[in-house]
Structure 1
């Protein structure tokens, strides 16, 4: 049987500062009732103690590794998925490698926005399936708050900061990944963040500037509820499965109303959907990883099917079917 991948440990880490809807209402034109009605979010964690994306990622990785017999120097590959990196170079993954003192690993970032955890897990699975690598760390980490325009209530109220980490190892029994499908659709206007404009002249006044995160909320909602339910049904159908055959769904934690719309469209109860958005907000690529960690901690997943479905800016979307 082909060598596959299994998860031997998972963890998540969020900043200590809790920002409620009332806190946001104090600085922008919104209120708790509006935010909960439109998003389902009650509070979120925001990094206010100087922790950057690599710091959150490092904390989650250390927590996950502490549950195993592996030492940092045993790790062979570190993948960090983020669209809020510490900077363009060095990669956030390289900073995590340094922080962990994982001298035996090589590390790099994947940038597929809110689909990142699914893309990262898929990528690590291929490295391990190749037979060249025996283990990997997959970490999804975001400090979304540093990219927000706090005068823009249509975007800022959604987002929080957090990280999740998985320790993957080779499994001679074939592994837990039973299917995958990934898509990208080039779209730079509906959602964008951190854009840097090219020069128009050489001038001493030139200095790099980035734009804040922005989304066209209604268009995002409509695009997701149009694409994702059909994607899920087709993805499962191609594997002779239906949504009824899945024990748990973990979708991107974009908005509770979106998750509810997906559940309704595929005729599944919300009890089968892992959610953390009400307490953490939209943590971008970290949300699915946090959801998987929470589900793994409270539920015996032996013999269970779990479908991970990500969707995000780019536009990116995809699913990974796990059987434990």
Structure 2
């Protein structure tokens, strides 16, 4: 008997500290007017009270357990998507596992930059459909603030911290299947977006110490990619599945900035009312943005919805869900 994937619960969390545009304008050459005109962003949240990525992810994991009524001991897999992990090792997902007491799970991180939630959903779906795993958490969590160069206004003004996630469950009822199809792609491009690069040593010396670089993006190239290549992928997936654009209840895009979302909506000739967004309040939360936007409308879902995200790699992915 085939196994299908049900989207059982959603959760989201942001740190308490709110940072508005004026606060950033006080330390770099920018202004509230410029930021809002170019990005639509008004505020973002920063983790500044000792919270790290695993702490944000743990808050979401606890919500998923509470909302679903599933015990931590019943979780089979915890998959955390992030480009701002607590450390290179252990995986942030392993820390979340310990925090919630999911002793019977295995856990790992997935790095697909801002496309992480779509890649994570597609990956978790395959684990469930194998028939071996029944309860899988997919949590996208980012503390982008710790990777910013606050002298670089082309990046720092965009980003915020947050986490969102889903609990996926196995079902044998095809009517409960919520994951319909996906299309994942990468371009093998390491220059347009990068973060946390660690250089190899050039000599053996007592003063060698690992260092990482801050987040960087080539804004114009990202905008062009997101508003031309990505919509074509979206159209291709929908055509393959015989779903008309007009049939979509929602299109939940990566919350990169409001202007990109508006441009994608215009490219697809769809009204902005179909595009839930949180970027004005939360900024670009990397892989967490789609997860949090989906969590915000989860209780309203009653038709086909397309999740689409894009980021470093260049990675981009679309997942068609129906509830």
**Pairwise TM-score range, normalised by the shorter structure:** over 0.9
Q: Which residue number corresponds to residue 160 of structure 2?
A: 160
Question: Following the alignment from structure 1 to structure 2, what is the Cα–Cα distance between the partners of residues 229 and 10?
Answer: 26
Q: Which residue number corresponds to residue 209 of structure 2?
A: 207
Post-superposition Cα deviations, 1:230-249, rounded to whole Å, max 9, x if no partner, equal: 11111111112221121100
Aligned pairs for 1:107-126 (under 5 A) are 107-126=107-126
Number of aligned positions between the proteins? 321
Question: Following the alignment from structure 1 to structure 2, what is the Cα–Cα distance between the partners of residues 196 and 274?
Answer: 36
TM (norm. structure 2) is 0.98
Question: Following the alignment from structure 2 to structure 1, what is the Cα–Cα distance between the partners of residues 190 and 18?
Answer: 31
Q: Which residue number corresponds to residue 51 of structure 2?
A: 51
2:248 to 246, 249, 257: 246
Q: Which runs of 4+ in 1 moved over 3 A?
A: none
Deviation at 1:219, TM superposition (A): 1.1
Q: Which residue number corresponds to residue 70 of structure 2?
A: 70
Secondary structure in 2 aligned to 1:66?
Answer: helix
TM (norm. structure 1) is 0.98
Q: Which residue number corresponds to residue 225 of structure 1?
A: 227
Post-superposition Cα deviations, 1:121-179, rounded to whole Å, max 9, x if no partner, equal: 11111111111111111100000000000011000000000001211111212311111
Matched, 1:142 2:142: yes
Question: Following the alignment from structure 2 to structure 1, what is the Cα–Cα distance between the partners of residues 64 and 26?
Answer: 37
Q: Which residue number corresponds to residue 85 of structure 1?
A: 85
Runs of 5+ in structure 2 lacking a partner? none
Matched, 1:193 2:192: no
Question: Following the alignment from structure 1 to structure 2, what is the Cα–Cα distance between the partners of residues 312 and 208?
Answer: 25
1:280 to 282, 286, 292: 282
Deviation at 1:318, TM superposition (A): 1.0
Deviation at 1:54, TM superposition (A): 0.2
Deviation at 1:223, TM superposition (A): 1.4
Question: Following the alignment from structure 1 to structure 2, what is the Cα–Cα distance between the partners of residues 12 and 69?
Answer: 17
Q: Which residue number corresponds to residue 268 of structure 1?
A: 270
Q: Which residue number corresponds to residue 128 of structure 1?
A: 128
Question: Following the alignment from structure 1 to structure 2, what is the Cα–Cα distance between the partners of residues 179 and 169?
Answer: 16
Post-superposition Cα deviations, 1:186-216, rounded to whole Å, max 9, x if no partner, equal: 1111110000011111111111000000111
Post-superposition Cα deviations, 1:9-33, rounded to whole Å, max 9, x if no partner, equal: 1110000000000110111111100
Question: Following the alignment from structure 1 to structure 2, what is the Cα–Cα distance between the partners of residues 70 and 244?
Answer: 36
Question: Following the alignment from structure 1 to structure 2, what is the Cα–Cα distance between the partners of residues 225 and 290?
Answer: 21
Secondary structure in 1 aligned to 2:202?
Answer: coil
Q: Which residue number corresponds to residue 2 of structure 1?
A: 2
Deviation at 1:74, TM superposition (A): 1.2
Secondary structure in 2 aligned to 1:22?
Answer: helix
Q: Which residue number corresponds to residue 29 of structure 2?
A: 29
Question: Following the alignment from structure 1 to structure 2, what is the Cα–Cα distance between the partners of residues 120 and 234?
Answer: 20
Runs of 5+ in structure 1 lacking a partner? none
Deviation at 1:2, TM superposition (A): 2.1
Secondary structure in 1 aligned to 2:67?
Answer: coil
